[in-house]
Every structure is written in structure tokens, then in C-alpha cells.
Amino acid sequence: MTVLTFELPDGSTRDVDVVQLLNAGYAGRQQADVAAHVAELALLGVPAPSVTPALYPVSPYLAQQTDRVAAPHARTSGEAEWALVVADDGELLLTAACDHTDRDLEVHGVAWSKNAAPDVLARQAWLLTDVEGRVDELTLRAWVTYDDGRETEIQHGTLAELLTPGYWTDVLRERGGLTPGTVLISGTIPMADGVDQFADGWRVELGDPATGNTIRLAYEVVPLPQPIG
């Protein structure tokens, strides 16, 4: 299994042995945002979902804290998201995540594509109880970098655009899945028009304007060698 380690603002740490990884999809709070995301994916050939929001089980080992993601081809990209993490004692943590996805495979099946690349999580987290009262004010931003060193913001919004952590804890509780070792990735906000998502690196920030605190992650996308045979 994958063990993730999160540092909290007080300097303490939580080790989480991931036993269940779930990716929410089409999880915008406003239908206009959901439609925008469906339209973004339609441009890549991804069919519209049969129901929204969706929830996709993902192999637990794909929850990673890494600064490098290996890619089999050039059409993979991330998505800025928040992640809900259930620690060993049932404590709920909130952190930043980037759902890296194989867009070519996504055309054939969203659930398959979710299992073809990692969910990258930050190494810091907040107790959900500490920020839950202002969760809609938390910001979510992402930047992409290219091989010439250029960095461009590709996503910028707030958690008010997405279904809340409370919504998903209720869903998990009803399913009997709010158990230690569970990681749920939130779904994403719309991408900026005209920005090439097939980049050489991704950077994501989850910010708390009330305190000025920010949780960050960043990774480079590294091409795999060409196969033999």
C-alpha cells in the first residue's frame, strides 16, 4: 500500500496508509461549470457522463506525493483539485491535489483513464474542522510550465465552485466508505480558454485568504522511453 505523510500547520504529522482512492468527476456546484467542463473534455473526444456528479474508484497506489510523473505520450495533463483524507484515527484532513489524466485513454473510458496516471497530493494539510466554516473562500489555482520555461496560469477559482467536503463526507458515510485510509479527490474547476494543458509541468495551490496560508504541490511530466517491440 501507499503511505502518505502530511504536515499540519502546528508542525505535527499524520501518516495515512491509503486503502481507498476515489476521484469525483463533474462535481461543480453550478450546472454551468459542469457543462463547461463537459465541453472542455468534448474537445478532446471524451463523451459526456451519464450522471453527474460521478465517482470513480482508483487503485490506491496511484495516490502519490511526488515531484515527477512519468507519461507514456504527450497527451496527458493535470487538474487542480482539493483532496479529503481520512487519517488513521478518523480525523479529516484537507489538502491540494492534481489529478493527472491520460487524455487519449479518457476518450475510451473515464474510469480507465483515472487508473492510468497518479493523483499527486501535497505534503501539507489542514484539519478540515479548522477551515470548514470558510471552505467556500479557499482558493484553488494551477499553473502549467513548458519546455522553454514559460509558466501560465491555467486554473483559478474558489472551492465555492465545487461540491463541498461536507457533501462528499455524507456520500462516503452513506456508502460505508468514510474509513481510515480513504482519499477522495474533488473534481476540478474550469480551465482558462486558449491555454495548452499538455505541458511539461504542473503547479497547484490551495490557499486560505483568512490566514494567508497556502498548500502547494508541483511536479514535472517526464516522457517514458519509447517501447521496444
Confirm if 67 and 203 have CB atoms less than 8 A apart. Answer: no
Grid cell in block for residue 166: 461536507
Model pTM score: 0.92
CA dihedral 7, 8, 12, 18 (to 10 degrees): -50
Percentage of residues in the chain with pLDDT exceeding 90? 79
Amino acid 29: pLDDT? 85
Query: Could you read off the pLDDT of 135-150 as tens digits, one per residue?
Result: 999 999 999 999 999 9
- Pick the closest to residue 137 from 212, 217, 34 (CA basis): 212
Determine how β-strand 182-185 pairs with β-strand 80-86: antiparallel
Average pLDDT on 3-32 reads 92
Q: Give the C-alpha separation, 161 to 223, whole Å.
A: 33
Grid cell in block for residue 129: 474542522
Query: Could you read off the pLDDT of 19-39 as tens digits, one per residue?
Result: 999 999 888 887 666 777 677
Confirm if 163 and 187 have CB atoms less than 8 A apart. Answer: yes
- Pick the closest to residue 218 from 202, 197, 205 (CA basis): 202
